[in-house]
């Protein structure tokens, strides 16, 4: 059985002397100011709030969960979606056509823990239009590309610890640009809680149930994922995320051994690539796994996603899913071909550190054609 998330009760990749997330960030993004939050969306809101006035617009890629643009809307900014190439690089002509003198920021997204292709083109455009570059690194908290921690490529960025660790919440805001650092005023939602709360207890109880009772129990995923089919409306989801990082999350982040976690996730990514290589109905989204990348998942384009998901479930893989439910204004719009196609056809397979490569091999024996 391959679960959706690692277990908070598995201490094998925790070491109190590894320095946790703090030491890792300080090693790979020296000099970049950072602050903990409960959620990436709230980190984003606080990061950009002091830089913009209502009435501007922000460009975000169309392949995205609906709630991610809520912080912009709260600040009176209009989110505008830009189209993507099949490589997930921005369609630069489409992006530029949607920018104007009121554009205050362009967001890039490091999908699945990999740097978004074309990051340098986005940086050129934000220079040209004199606006901010937001580096959304929700998916890859410990990915490093060309010696630099993802999430710190833009003027400001953020990452989501829930995508890496068995935690109920948690995110980091990075303030890479000087003016971002100068304008930053943390709200009451910044930082970590100093006491364990009801959410921590609920998370532990659900984790225990998931571990002990029913291996296919997916309530943690559906409880926490922004992307789940049963998601409440985006505004409600955003409002619900407004809390500092929980004490439990802070403790898990402190004890984590990021290097060991990255190694484990890379090994599992490579194992999926190997066992699925012979399947003509599946095409990996990423052919290579560059040094430094800590993959969030192993995404494949499936000819028949529902059939493949059913096959995986039969083999005991609980955590595979398509992603995301697109925002209404994007869904079905031909201008956003890649986002619409990928949201239906990309199946993401779990690679988290709680999985043993041998478990993937065993599933692979049943999936090979
Ligand atoms: C690409 C992307 N950006 C941002 C977010 C928001 O992060 P958080 O749930 O920590 O607010 C998500 C969440 O799923 C995401 O997938």
Instruction: State the DSSP string of 118-160.
Output: THHHHHHHHHHTT-EEEEEETT-TT-EETTEETT-SSSEEEEE
Pairing type for strands 282-284 and 297-302 reads antiparallel
Mean pLDDT of the chain: 92
What whole-number distance in Å separates Cα of residue 13 and Cα of residue 161?
15
CA distances from 105 to 22, 77, 154, 367 (A): 28, 10, 10, 44
- Per residue in 185-235, pLDDT (tens digit) is 999 999 999 888 888 888 888 787 776 654 433 444 444 555 544 456 899
Q: Which residue from 45, 58, 68 has its CB within 8 A of the most atoms of ligand 1, so it is best to mutate?
A: 68
Q: Best of 42, 65, 245 to mutate for ligand 1, by most ligand atoms within 8 A of CB?
A: 65
Ligand 1 pocket test: pick from 41, 115, 170 the residue with the most ligand atoms within 8 Å of its Cβ.
41
pLDDT tens digits along 118-177: 999 999 999 999 999 999 999 999 999 999 999 999 999 999 999 999 999 999 999 999
Strand partners for 245: 192
Q: Provide the pLDDT for residue 153.
A: 93
Confidence of residue 8 (pLDDT cuts 50, 70, 90): confident
Q: Ligand 1 centroid to 369 CA: how many Å? A: 35
Distance between first and last Cα of the chain: 21
Question: Which atom of ligand 1 lies nearest, measured to the CA of 224?
Answer: 9
Q: What is the pLDDT of residues 267-285, one digit of tens each?
A: 999 999 999 999 999 999 9
Q: Residue 136 CA: which ligand 1 atom is closest? A: 3
Mean pLDDT of 237-261: 95
* Cα 72–chain centre separation: 18
User: 259 CA to middle of ligand 1, Å?
Assistant: 23
∠ CA 215-220-224, rounded to 5° = 155
Q: What is the pLDDT of residues 114-132, one digit of tens each?
A: 999 999 999 999 999 999 9
């Amino acid at each position: 059985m391959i679960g959706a998330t690692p277990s908070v009760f598995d201490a094998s990749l925790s070491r109190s002397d590894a320095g946790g997330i703090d030491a890792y960030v300080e090693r790979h993004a020296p000099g970049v100011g950072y602050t903990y939050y409960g959620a990436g969306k709230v980190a984003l809101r606080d990061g950009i709030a002091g830089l913009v006035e209502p009435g501007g617009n922000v460009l975000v890629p169309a392949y995205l969960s609906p709630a991610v643009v809520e912080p912009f809307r709260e600040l009176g900014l209009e989110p505008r979606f830009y189209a993507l190439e099949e490589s997930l690089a921005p369609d630069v002509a489409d992006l530029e056509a949607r920018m104007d003198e009121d554009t205050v920021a362009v967001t890039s997204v490091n999908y699945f823990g990999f740097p978004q292709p074309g990051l340098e083109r986005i940086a050129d455009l934000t220079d040209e239009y004199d606006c901010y570059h937001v580096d959304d690194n929700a998916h890859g908290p410990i990915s490093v590309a060309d010696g630099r921690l993802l999430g710190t490529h833009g003027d400001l960025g953020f990452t989501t610890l829930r995508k890496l660790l068995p935690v109920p919440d948690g995110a980091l805001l990075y303030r890479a640009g000087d003016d971002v650092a100068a304008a930053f005023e943390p709200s009451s939602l910044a930082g970590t809680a100093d006491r364990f709360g009801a959410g921590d207890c609920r998370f532990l109880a659900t984790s225990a149930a998931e571990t002990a009772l029913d291996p296919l129990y997916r309530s943690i995923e559906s409880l926490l994922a922004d992307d789940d089919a049963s998601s409440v409306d985006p505004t409600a989801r955003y409002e619900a995320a407004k809390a500092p990082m929980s004490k439990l999350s802070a403790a898990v982040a402190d004890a984590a051994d990021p290097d060991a976690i990255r190694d484990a996730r890379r090994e599992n990514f490579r194992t999926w690539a190997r066992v699925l290589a012979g399947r003509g109905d599946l095409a990996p989204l990423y052919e290579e796994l560059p040094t430094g990348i800590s993959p969030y998942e192993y995404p494949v384009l499936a000819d028949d996603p529902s059939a493949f998901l059913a096959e995986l479930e039969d083999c005991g893989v609980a955590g595979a899913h398509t992603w995301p439910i697109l925002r209404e204004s994007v869904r079905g719009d031909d201008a956003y071909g890649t986002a619409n196609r990928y949201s239906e056809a990309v199946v993401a397979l779990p690679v988290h550190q709680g999985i043993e490569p041998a478990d993937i091999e065993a599933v692979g024996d049943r999936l090979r054609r």
